[in-house]
Structure formats: structure tokens, C-alpha cells
């Protein structure tokens, strides 16, 4: 029988929503987590499921956000700390393994596999033509999700590319919409002369729509043309501008676009998610965040000692 977490993961896949599936693969007593426990972590840091108590959960959430931003899965090992050779925080010399010394953990080591699940890049093709159908075939073989609509319609919000191959049917509106939506690659399958006329009618910025579509490879057959178009899509994907990540500071950092802020506990240097209900303390016009009540109590007793 499928679990609620697996059901939720399937729903997110169908909705093309990125997430991390965290699965406990090993748990050393005493821990509240057991092998097979799992949870879904969303890009905003929310979690659905169970992978341990609040301390372990916080570590899983933070590392999941890091992996989601990097687009890479990993094995996370959470220990109760005590290794003098390794600083508190996330570190590992072994490829594919991240070790987190979580000093607020009650005890026991937990291994959690963090599977990053991101939707395949979406290529939206409009038109019922041999080139359009060929693009579906070569794009799917290359790992893209290619949707084919016989006539132009609404542009998907997360489309990487929009290719109009409808040979004169309702082209201008969808081209203008794709450009306005900021789709990285927009192309029109047409001859140079007809393409220029269509773009003039669509009133799109010069150079924003590629026509004739595809790299100049001397393509003649529908399959060759589809390959040349996909080559441009690949180039658009790899060169699309990405916001630079915010630099890490001792007190506050950001993990990925749209992710929650992460604060550093001034007592134990553990990182915690800044969210409603998080343990915090107001002092001298500043908010400090903590991993556990003990750290908060220690800080409140003498803020100046801890940089407050």
C-alpha cells in the first residue's frame, strides 16, 4: 500500500513541482526515527512527513534546501557531535556524503537519503506538422518533457522553450505571449522572409524570437530540423541567466531563490530555519534564533557574552 508521503510525492511530480524526498535508511539508537521513515521537503522549507525529532528535522530541512538549490541528491549523516576534529555544521570529505554534527540531537546517528526531484525541462510545441512531431520525439529522447498542441494556446508558466510550428495558424499571439512571459527560448518555424513578416506583426523585440528556428546545420528533413532546434534549446538552458546566490554571513543566509532565511544559533553555531514559531529572542533591536530552548536560555542570561 502506498504511503501518504509517497502519494504526496507523486502528486508533486504530476504538478511539476520541485521537492526533496528524504528517506531514513539507517538509524542508530537512541533515535525517534526508524529506517523507512520519509518526508517531502518543499522549496519554501515546509516539510510533510517524519524523519525524526525537531533537531534532526531541522538539519534535514536545511540540507534539503541546499541540495535542491544545487540540483544534486546526497546521503546526509546526522550525528550528535562530539568529534573534535570536525567543526559543528555540515562537512564531509567523502563524495556523495554530507555529515552534520547536530549538538542538540538526543543521541544516535541517522543516515537520510535526500533525493532531489525536479521536473524535466518543459518544451512547448504548437502545430500539427512533421517538424513539430519530430521535435516531440527527439526532445523526449533527450530527457525533456515536450508537449504538443495542434493549435497555439496558453503558454505554460514554467516553459523553458516555446516552438511555434503551426505554419501560419495563430502564430503572432502566442509568440508575443511567450516573449512577455520571459520564456528563455522562443522560436518560429518559418522561412526568413515569412518569419520576418510574422515577427513584425507580433511586435516582439528584435532578436527575441529565433526564426528560422534551429542552428544552421544544413538540415533538410523534419528530424534534422528538430535536432537543430533542440540544440538551440540546450544552449538556451545552459546559458539562461541565474540569480547569484547571496553570500553567507555569520548570522543570516539564504539558500536558493524562494527558500526561507537560515539563521545561525549564536550559542552552538547550528543553523535553523527562520519561520513563524521558531525559537527566538529579541535583544537591542535584533532578533536572534536558536535550535533549542537551552541555547535560548543561555543567550538570554548574558547576551553580551554571545555577541548580543
pLDDT tens, N- to C-terminus, the chain (308 residues)? 778 899 999 999 999 999 999 999 999 888 889 999 999 999 988 999 999 888 888 899 999 999 998 899 999 999 887 655 555 556 666 788 999 887 776 678 999 999 999 999 999 999 999 999 999 999 999 999 999 999 888 899 899 999 999 887 889 999 999 999 999 999 999 999 999 999 999 999 888 999 999 999 998 899 999 999 999 999 988 876 444 443 333 334 445 556 678 888 888 877 888 888 888 999 888 999 988 788 889 899 998 888 87
Shared domain for 259 and 286, answered yes or no, is yes
CB 283 within 8 A of CB 290: no
Residue with cell 505554460: 156
Query: Is 191 found in the same domain as 158?
Result: yes
Tell me whether residue 261 is in a domain.
yes
Same structural domain, 178 and 204: yes
Q: Which whole-number Å values give the CA distances from 26 to 29, 51, 106, 113, in the listed order?
A: 10, 11, 16, 9
Cα–Cα nearest to 28, from 112, 111, 109, 102: 109
Query: Do 214 and 289 fall within a single domain?
Result: no
d(CA 308, CA 289): 12
Say whether both 198 and 273 belong to one domain: no
Instruction: Tell me the C-alpha distance between 41 and 48, whole Å.
Output: 7
* 213: in domain: yes
Total domain count, the chain: 3
User: Where does a domain end: 84, 117, 150?
Assistant: 117
DSSP symbol at 247: P
The pLDDT score that the predictor gives to residue 177 is: 95
User: Are 93 and 184 members of one domain?
Assistant: no
What pLDDT was estimated at residue 245? 41
Same-domain check for residues 176 and 227: yes
Expressed as residue numbers, the domain containing 229 is 122-239
pLDDT reported for residue 254: 44
- Which one of 117, 133, 154 terminates a domain? 117
Reduce the DSSP state of residue 176 to 3 states and report it. helix
Per-residue pLDDT at 91:
64
Question: Domain of 132: which CATH number?
Answer: 3.40.50.720
258: DSSP letter = T
- Say if residue 234 is in the same domain as residue 130: yes
The answer to whether residue 247 is domain-embedded is no
Same domain, residue pair 235 and 160: yes
- Check whether residue 165 and residue 211 sit in a common domain: yes
Same domain, 63 and 94: yes
Give the number of residues written for the chain.
Answer: 308
Q: What is the per-residue burial (b if ≥16 Cβ within 10 Å, else e) of 138-177?
A: bbeebebbbebeeebeebbeebbbbbbbbeeeebbebbbb
246 assigned to some structural domain: no
Amino acid at each position: 500500500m502506498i504511503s501518504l508521503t509517497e502519494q504526496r510525492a507523486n502528486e508533486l511530480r504530476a504538478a511539476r513541482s520541485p521537492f526533496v524526498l528524504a528517506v531514513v535508511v539507517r538509524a542508530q539508537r537512541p533515535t525517534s526515527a526508524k529506517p523507512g521513515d520519509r518526508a517531502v521537503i518543499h522549496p519554501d522549507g515546509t516539510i510533510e512527513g517524519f524523519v525524526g525529532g525537531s533537531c534532526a528535522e531541522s538539519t534535514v530541512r536545511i540540507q534539503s534546501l541546499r541540495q535542491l538549490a544545487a540540483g544534486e541528491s546526497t546521503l546526509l549523516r546526522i550525528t550528535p557531535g562530539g568529534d573534535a576534529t570536525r567543526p559543528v555544521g555540515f562537512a564531509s570529505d567523502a563524495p556523495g556524503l554530507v555529515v552534520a554534527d547536530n549538538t542538540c540531537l538526543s543521541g544516535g546517528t541517522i543516515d537520510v537519503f535526500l533525493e532531489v526531484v525536479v521536473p524535466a525541462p518543459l518544451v512547448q510545441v504548437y502545430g500539427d506538422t512533421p517538424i513539430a512531431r519530430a521535435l516531440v520525439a527527439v526532445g523526449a529522447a533527450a530527457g525533456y518533457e515536450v508537449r504538443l498542441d495542434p493549435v497555439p494556446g496558453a503558454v505554460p508558466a514554467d516553459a523553458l522553450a516555446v516552438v511555434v510550428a503551426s505554419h501560419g495558424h495563430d502564430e503572432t499571439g502566442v509568440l508575443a505571449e511567450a516573449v512577455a512571459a520571459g520564456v528563455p527560448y522562443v522560436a518560429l518555424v518559418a522561412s526568413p522572409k515569412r518569419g520576418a513578416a510574422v515577427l513584425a506583426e507580433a511586435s516582439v523585440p528584435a532578436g527575441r524570437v529565433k526564426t528560422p528556428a534551429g542552428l544552421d546545420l544544413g538540415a533538410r528533413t523534419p528530424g534534422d530540423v528538430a535536432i537543430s532546434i533542440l540544440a538551440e534549446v540546450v544552449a538556451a538552458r545552459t546559458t539562461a541567466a541565474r540569480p547569484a546566490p547571496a553570500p553567507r554571513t555569520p548570522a543570516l543566509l539564504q539558500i536558493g531563490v524562494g527558500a526561507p532565511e537560515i539563521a545561525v544559533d549564536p550559542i552552538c553555531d547550528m543553523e535553523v530555519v527562520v519561520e513563524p514559531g521558531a525559537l527566538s529572542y529579541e535583544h537591542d533591536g535584533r532578533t536572534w534564533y536558536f535550535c533549542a530552548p537551552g541555547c535560548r536560555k543561555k543567550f538570554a542570561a548574558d547576551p553580551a557574552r554571545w555577541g548580543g
